[in-house]
Structures are given as structure tokens and as C-alpha cells.
Amino acid sequence: MDVKTRLRQIMREQGISNYQLAKMSNMPPTTIRNILNGTSPSVSTLAQLCGALGISLAQFFTDAEHESFYPLTQEQAALVEKWGKLKAEQKKAILTIMDGLM
């Protein structure tokens, strides 16, 4: 399942409209519409949406029966969760370090 499909599923489960999610997440409605039309959100945008929905990034990528939609290990899911909590300058520093390692 891709991000747009999963987001739609969660919104449907919670009874939330595009406009309501935009308001809850302090994002422009066009951002929500773009994601639902297939634009891939950044990790920070997805983390912000998850916060508004009251779920973690790890929960976003897991269905109700806890089967992963993506082959993420627990370690990878923890990294995604931590990434969403970093400030922009911290993310930039980490990406610079990672580029140097590859």
C-alpha cells in the first residue's frame, strides 16, 4: 500500500476530510490534496500529518493487524520515528554525514 492509499484509509477510519486534516496539521489544503493525488511527502511532512492524526510514523506504515506495508525492520522504523522529531538543521547534518559515508 502506498502513502496516498494509507493516508486515505486512516482519514476514512477517523472520519476526517481533506480540509479537516489540513486544519489539524497546519498545512495548506493543497498539500493534503497533492499527497492524496500521489505526490510523495517529505518525512517531516508525513510526521506532521501523523501527529495531527494521533499516530506515530511506525503506526502509519503498519496496518490494523500490525503487518508492515513496507519491509521495515524495528530498527528502521525507530530511525524513521526519530527522523521525524529532528529539526531541519539536524536532518541536514545527518544527511551530510551519510553522504560522506557512501
pLDDT average, residue stretch 34-39: 94
Each residue's pLDDT tens digit, 46-97: 999 999 998 888 888 876 554 545 556 678 777 877 887 888 888 889 888 9
Instruction: Classify the C-alpha dihedral 15-18-20-24 as positive or negative.
Output: positive
Q: Which residues of 47-82 are buried (b: 16+ CB within 10 A; e: fewer)?
A: bbbbbbbeebbbbbbbeeeeeeeeebeeeebeebbe
How confident is the model at residue 68, as a pLDDT?
47
Q: Which residues contact 59 (CB under 8 A, 6 or more apart)?
A: 50
Please enumerate, as own/partner, the contacts of 31-36 that have beta carbons within 8 Å and a separation of 24 or more: 35/3, 35/4, 35/7, 36/4, 36/7, 36/8
Domains of the chain (ranges; CATH) run 3-101 (1.10.260.40)
Q: What share of the chain is helix, strand, coil (3-state, %, to 5)?
A: 70, 0, 30
How confident is the model at residue 99, as a pLDDT?
84
